[in-house]
With several copies, the nearest count.
Chain A
Amino acid sequence: MLQTVLSPGAVGESRAQAELFLQAYRLMLQARVLDDKFASIYRAGKIHGGVFLGRGQEALSVASGLALRTGDIFAPCIRDQAGRLAFGEPILDAVRTYFGSTLGPMRGRDGNIHRGRPKEGLLAMISHLGAMISVVNGMLLSRRMQKREGSVGLACIGDGGMSTGAAHEALNQAGVEKLPLVVVVADNQFAYSTPTERQFACETLVDRADAYGLTGHSADGTNLEDCLKVVGQAVEKARAGKGPQLVVAKLLRLCGHGEHDDANYISAKLKNAPEHRDCLQVAEERILSERWSTPDELERWRKDAQRKTDDAVSTVQREPTPDPFAEKWQALATENLSEAGETPEPGPMDI
C-alpha cells in the first residue's frame, strides 16, 4: 500500500503523506498518553464510574478524525480518544468530563466518553449503541435542505454495535437518502467479552455495505497508513456525492472493555498474533525505518504529550465540581414549562 501512497516521482505528495503520518502519529501518541493517565487515575480510585480506553485502536480512530474538516460532523464511540483529538476536541474536554468539572462541556452531568459539543459538529454519544448514526443522518439531511452542502458526517461504531436495530435502521436510512455519511466500524473482535462468532455470522461486516446500498471498504486497523488511506478515500467519496460509505477495520483492543476488566477472555495466542501488533508501535517503527523522524524527536513528542496531559489534569483538579445547590435542576430548555416543587431539596454532599 505504501507504494501507492508514497509513489516515487510524487515527491510533493509523498512529503505531504509523510507529514500527515507524523501528525497522525503525534495525535495517537497524545491519545495513548492521555488514556494511560486516565487508567492510572482510575487505579488510584479518583475517577467516578468507568474508564474506557482506545488502546490499540488509535490508528483507525485518528484516521477518522483527520479525514474530517472544520464544519464536518463527527460521532465518536467509546474508543475514539485519538479521533476526538484529531477532530479538534481539547484535551481539557476529556479531563473535565472524567472529573465532572463544571467547566467541561458536560458540567458533571454526564461523564467519561459521553461528551461532545454538538453545535461544533462533535456529537455527545448516549450509551445505547447504534443510536448516534441516525442523528448524524438528520444533521446531514438538514444541511442539504438548508443548502449547506459539502460537509461529511462520520460515525464510529464497534462490531457489537452493528447488531443493534438502531444501527440497521440508520444505515438503511442513509442509503435511501444518499447522505454523505461515513460509518467506520472498529471490528476489534470482541464486544465486551463476546467474540464476533457470537455476534454475527457474515464473513466480515463489510458484507453489510451491499445490504444498504453503501460502498464498502476494508482496512487494516493496525496499520496507520492503511487507515489514513482507506478512511480518507471513503470520506472523499462521501464528500464528492458518491453516497454513504462503510469502512470496516480489523484490529484487537489492547485493554479491557473498561479499566475494571482484565480481558482474560482474550487468549494469549490472539494477543500475541503478529496481525494484532500495537498500531502505535507499528507506526513508530515505520517512522524510524523511513527516517521521517528520529528517536529523540519521538521522545520529545512523548514528553510533550505527557506534559499536556499532566497540565490538563492538574488544571482540572483545581476546578470546581458541581454544587447541587447551584445546579439548575431542569431538563427543559423552556423554563416556564418546567415543573417545580415536586423534588426534594439537595441531600448531603458526602458519598
Chain B
Amino acid sequence: MSITYLEAIREAQAKALAQDPRVFIYGQDVGAFGGAFKATKNLAKEFPGRVLDAPISEDAMAGLAIGAAIEGMRPIIEMQFADFSTVAFNQIVNQAATLYWRTNVPCPITVRLPCGGTSGSGPFHSQTMEALYAHYPGVVVMTPATVADAYSMLLEAVAIDDPVIFCEHKFLYYHLKADSLPTEALPVGKARIARVGRDMTIVAYSAMVHEALAAAEELKSEGWEAEVVDLRSVKPLDTDTVVASVARTGRLLCVGEDFPWGGVTAEVIARVTSEGFGLLDAPPQRLNAKDTPVPYHPNLWLAHRPSARTIADAARKILRQ
C-alpha cells in the first residue's frame, strides 16, 4: 500500500467522522464533489448529512463553525485555498480565537488551509498563512511536513479543544508518499529531528523540510553534517528542541516559504538568541521567500521561494564562519 499526503488527510477526516459523531465538514465543494483537491472524496457518501457544501462565504463558514463548536460539535472547515481565508480572517482571529478566553467556552474548530506554492498558481493560490494566524493568541497552528504528520496531526487537530489552523501544503499533496498510515505520533507541540547532524541546525517546517533535507544531502557530499529540525507546529513552537539542537551544532539557519518580514523564521531566531545566545558559534541566519507576491511563472516562482540549492548556499556561508 502507498498513501499520499493528500490521501492521509482524507483518511484522517474519514476516521474522525467515523469515530466521533460531533465531527462534520463544511466547505465549498466538499460534498458530492469531494473538494477542489479531493481531500473529502467520497466522504459525503460515506457520512450522509455530515459533509456539507458551503456558499462562497468564508466569513460565514467560519462563523458557522464557531457556533457549532459552542453546541458541542467538532467542525472541520475547508478553505478552498488558504489564500481565501483572508476573508474569514476576522471570524477566526477575533471570534474563534477569543471565545474561550472571553467566555470560558472552548472553540474546537479545525480550519484546513491548503497552503503554499505550486508551479503556475500565482499570487492568490500560493500563500502560506502560518505566521498570519500564529501571531494571534488563542490558536494552534500546525504545519505537517510528512504523510504521517498530515494524518496524525489532523486527527489531533479535531480532538484539541481550541481552534486549530491546519496548514496542509499543496506541493506535498500528490508527491509525498508513505507506505502506511502511522499508528503513533509525537505529541503536538514537539518538533522532530528529521535528520541528525553535528555541524549546523537547519530549522524548517512544511514543504521546506524536504528542501532542507535535500540541501543537507548536498552538504553531506561536501563533508558537512547538517541537522534538520521539522517544527511540525509553529504555534506552539518547540523552542526547547531547537535550542537543544543548536547546543549540539552551534549554528542555525531557519527556513520558511512565507514572506520575509516577521513570521516563523524571525520568531525562531528571536527565541534561540534570547534563550540560547551562548550556544551560537556564528550569527543565526534565515531564508524566506522574497518580499513580493508569489509569482505565476515557474521561473519566477522557483526563485521566489527557498530551494535545496539556496538553502545549501546559505548553509555553506554559515558553516564557513
Q: Point out residues on A near B: beta carbons under 8 Å.
A: 47-50, 100, 105-106, 108-112, 114, 116-119, 123-124, 126-143, 145-146, 160-161, 163-166, 169-170, 172-173, 176, 191-194, 198-200, 265, 321-324, 327, 329-334, 336-339, 342-351
Contacts and interface: CB of A to CB of B under 8 A. Distances in A.
B60 A173 contact: yes
B300 A332 contact: no
B208 to A, nearest CB: 12
B57 A142 contact: no
Contacts of A130: 56
Contacts of A112: 122
B185 interface: no
A169 B304 CA distance: 34
A78 B73 CA distance: 28
A233 B193 CA distance: 63
B137 interface: yes
Interface of B: 24, 28-29, 31-33, 36, 49-50, 53-73, 75, 80-81, 83-84, 86-87, 90-91, 94-95, 97-103, 105-107, 119-125, 137-138, 140, 160-162, 188-189, 235-237, 260-261, 287-293, 295-300, 302-307, 309-310, 313-314
A138 B123 contact: no
A111 B137 CA distance: 19
B36 A192 contact: yes
A164 B57 contact: yes
B314 A344 contact: yes
Contact of B95 (A135, A165, A332, A333): A135
A328 to B, nearest CB: 9
A343 B70 contact: no
Given A126-B94, A137-B64, A342-B260, A327 B162 contact: no
Contacts of A339: 235-237, 260-261, 291
Nearest to A119: B105
Contacts of A200: 55
Nearest to A191: B56
B119 A336 contact: no
Contacts of A133: 60, 63
A108 B295 contact: yes
Given A119-B70, A198-B54, 7 more contacts: A126-B123, A127-B83, A128-B90, A138-B75, A170-B59, A322-B299, A324-B300
B291 A137 contact: no
A347 B308 CA distance: 9
Contact of A48 (B55, B101, B119, B289): B119
A145 B65 contact: no
A153 to B, nearest CB: 9
A331 B161 contact: no
Contacts of A349: 299, 302-303
A231 to B, nearest CB: 21
Contacts of A331: 97-98, 100-101, 137-138, 291-293
Nearest to B237: A339
Closest 8 CB pairs of A and B: A138-B67, A134-B63, A48-B120, A49-B120, A324-B303, A100-B297, A193-B33, A127-B124
A199 B29 CA distance: 11
Nearest to A47: B120
Nearest to B49: A145
B132 to A, nearest CB: 15
A287 to B, nearest CB: 37
A265 B87 CA distance: 27
Contact of B60 (A49, A126, A169): A169
Contacts of A169: 55, 57-60, 63
A128 B94 contact: yes
A137 B57 contact: no
A344 B49 CA distance: 48
